[in-house]
Homo-oligomer: A and B are copies of this chain.
Amino acid sequence: MSKGFTTKETILKTAFELTSKFGLESLSIGELAKSVGMSKSGLFSHFKSKEKLQLMVMDYAAENFTLKVVKPALTKGRGIDRIEAMMENWVKWSGTYLPGGCPFLSAIVEFDDRPGAVRDHIKVLQGTMVETFARSVEIAKEESQIKSSASSEQLAYELYSNMIGFHIYNRLLKDKNAKVKFQNLYKSILEKVQV
């Protein structure tokens, strides 16, 4: 019971890193086994199919995101501070913590045209992530820090778009001012609706 759990965790951690670097699609069982240092079949027996592995990697990534981005922001008070903390945590996550690109983004673009369990799962995970943003905006509205007329769905969309934009500017274009642009945008997004 214990041993199996430990190695499975090790596998998922390595798989998470490989996915960040090369995408969920290119994550091959043979290569993963080599990275972990065990046999292909030994690794495979932990997951009964590649699809199940992919699903678990996405869950691992989601937990990681919650742990590194969402949870630390909860120590901040309810309102705009918390939203800004989540934005800054995201920059750190995307820019320094991850060994490669955002595992969700690659999964999204790789699977949004392939119907199946993986696609459905990513959709759910990204949906809850967007809802988390929308909820934090709602809280800021309850605290009278954001105009009650503002749409939390719209704001969540704007914050989300900014995150993806930063990621591409930072990773592909290697824009040195990507972080500043990101901060400028989320601040002006919030200013616009601030009471």
Task: Give chain A's interface residues, CB within 8 Å of chain B.
Answer: 21-23, 25-26, 100-101, 105-106, 108-110, 112-114, 122-123, 126-127, 130, 153-154, 157-158, 160-162, 164-166, 168-169, 171-174, 177-178, 181, 184-185, 188, 192
In the complex, what distance in Å separates the CA atom of A42 from the CA atom of B109? 30
B173 touches A126 (CB 8 A): yes
Number of copies: 2
Extra inter-chain contacts (6) besides given A22-B113, A23-B109, A23-B110, CB under 8 Å: A22-B114, A23-B25, A109-B110, A112-B171, A160-B169, A164-B168
A188: nearest chain-B partner, CB-CB? B192
A181 touches B157 (CB 8 A): yes
In the complex, what distance in Å separates the CA atom of A62 from the CA atom of B84? 36
A113 touches B100 (CB 8 A): yes
B101 touches A21 (CB 8 A): no
Which of B101, B126, B161 lies in contact with A166, CB distance below 8 A? B161
Given A25-B25, A165-B157, A172 contacting B112 (CB threshold 8 A): yes
In the complex, what distance in Å separates the CA atom of A161 from the CA atom of B164? 7
**What are 22 A-B contacts defined by CB distance under 8 Å?**
A26-B110, A100-B113, A101-B109, A105-B109, A106-B109, A106-B110, A112-B168, A113-B171, A123-B174, A127-B173, A130-B173, A153-B177, A154-B184, A154-B185, A157-B165, A158-B165, A160-B169, A161-B161, A161-B162, A164-B168, A165-B165, A192-B192
Return the 7 tightest CB-CB contacts between A and B, nearest first. Answer: A161-B165, A157-B181, A112-B172, A106-B109, A161-B161, A100-B113, A112-B171
